[in-house]
């Protein structure tokens, strides 16, 4: 009786309960349920070591710095008001609802585990570097508050603590979290489609083409070169190159909207890079076997 209650019925009611709590905020399901559950279950089962995390941080951040310098030079051919927005669009990639599913499909579970590490790095970059590039320097308190409000951060911290002290969730609850995590990838892709569905017609002008070329062509090439110079190889190298191949994050558009910095152009860049990445990421994925 108790076994059936906790092992069979508990997962069902936990998941249904999450849906009930978020029923009036269905657009928050990805943020508050799917991605945290995916992150928690992945870290609980991950084989990524501390040294892997260090290499991922070194390679991804190193590439971001070099890419920023290259972008800062290239955008001089554009009108001054759009330059910082283009740099932000190039540096801040969609490593969440685009990067996580692609990492899983291209590199398997090991790739997804590494993609989650990179996803957390990119979240910090979006809420620290992003506002600065748009001409706003938020206080340290405001920056920490923005990052601390993200449930996925707490899911990762909790899973890390559980791994360190060698504790697992009770059977039924653990099953529920894994079931939600398993549903995350297809649901995240649906959410991405909904976001793109609100976009307007794409205009491939000089600004959009420049941003697209930097984000989808220059970024993965620089990632490969940086990893090679830093001695990052194997799955870590593949994950970094793939992550740097992602289109511009939707959050860049939200920042532009918030700070009134030519949000229309940024929206066009987000849509264009997402569309063109269908081709460019296919090329990158086909060559990942050589990035060892």
The H-assigned helical ranges of 75-170 are: 80-91, 99-133, 140-148, 151-165
User: What pLDDT does 15 receive?
Assistant: 53
Give residue limits of the domains in the chain: 2-290
Q: What is the pLDDT of residue 4?
A: 40
Distance CA 40, CA 270 (A): 28
pLDDT at 146: 72
pLDDT of residue 66: 97
Q: What are phi and psi of 134, to 5 degrees?
A: -90, 15
Which sign does the torsion angle of CA 102, 58, 280, 206 carry?
positive
Give domain 2-290's CATH architecture.
Answer: Up-down Bundle (1.20)
From the CB of residue 235, how many other CB atoms can be counted at a distance below 10 Å?
A: 22
Nearest 5°: CA angle at 134, between 146 and 130? 40
Neighbours of 145 (CB within 10 A): 12
Residue 92's Cβ-side half-sphere holds a number of Cα atoms within 13 Å equal to: 29
- Ranges of the chain with pLDDT below 50: 1-2, 4-5, 8-9, 22-23
What pLDDT shows up at residue 196?
62
Answer for the pair 222, 63: CB distance below 8 angstroms, yes or no: yes
Question: How many degrees, rounded to 5, is the angle at CA 104 between CA 99 and CA 105?
Answer: 100
pLDDT value, residue 221: 96
């Amino acid at each position: 009786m108790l076994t059936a209650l906790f092992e069979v019925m508990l997962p069902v009611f936990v998941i249904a309960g999450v849906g009930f709590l978020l029923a009036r905020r269905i657009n928050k399901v990805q943020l508050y349920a799917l991605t945290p559950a995916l992150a928690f279950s992945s870290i609980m089962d991950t084989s990524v070591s501390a040294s892997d995390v260090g290499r991922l941080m070194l390679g991804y951040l190193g590439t971001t710095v070099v890419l920023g310098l290259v972008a800062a030079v290239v955008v001089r051919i554009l009108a001054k008001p759009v330059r910082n927005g283009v740099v932000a669009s190039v540096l801040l990639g969609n490593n969440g609802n685009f990067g996580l599913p692609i990492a899983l499909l291209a590199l398997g579970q090991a790739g997804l585990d590494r993609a989650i590490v990179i996803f957390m790095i990119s979240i910090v970059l979006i809420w620290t570097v992003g506002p600065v590039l748009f001409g706003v320097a938020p206080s340290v308190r405001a920056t920490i508050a923005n990052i601390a409000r993200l449930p996925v951060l707490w899911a990762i911290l909790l899973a890390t603590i559980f791994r360190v002290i060698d504790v697992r969730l009770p059977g039924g609850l653990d099953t529920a979290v894994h079931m939600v995590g398993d549903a995350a990838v297809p649901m995240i892709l649906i959410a991405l489609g909904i976001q793109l569905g609100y976009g307007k017609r794409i205009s491939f002008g000089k600004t959009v083409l420049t941003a697209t070329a930097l984000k989808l062509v220059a970024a993965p090439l620089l990632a490969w070169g940086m990893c090679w110079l830093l001695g990052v190889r194997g799955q870590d190298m593949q994950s970094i190159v793939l992550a740097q191949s992602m289109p511009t994050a939707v959050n860049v558009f939200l920042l532009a909207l918030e700070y009134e910095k030519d949000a229309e152009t940024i929206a066009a860049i987000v849509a264009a890079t997402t569309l063109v990445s269908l081709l460019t990421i296919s090329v990158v994925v086909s060559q990942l076997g050589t990035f060892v």
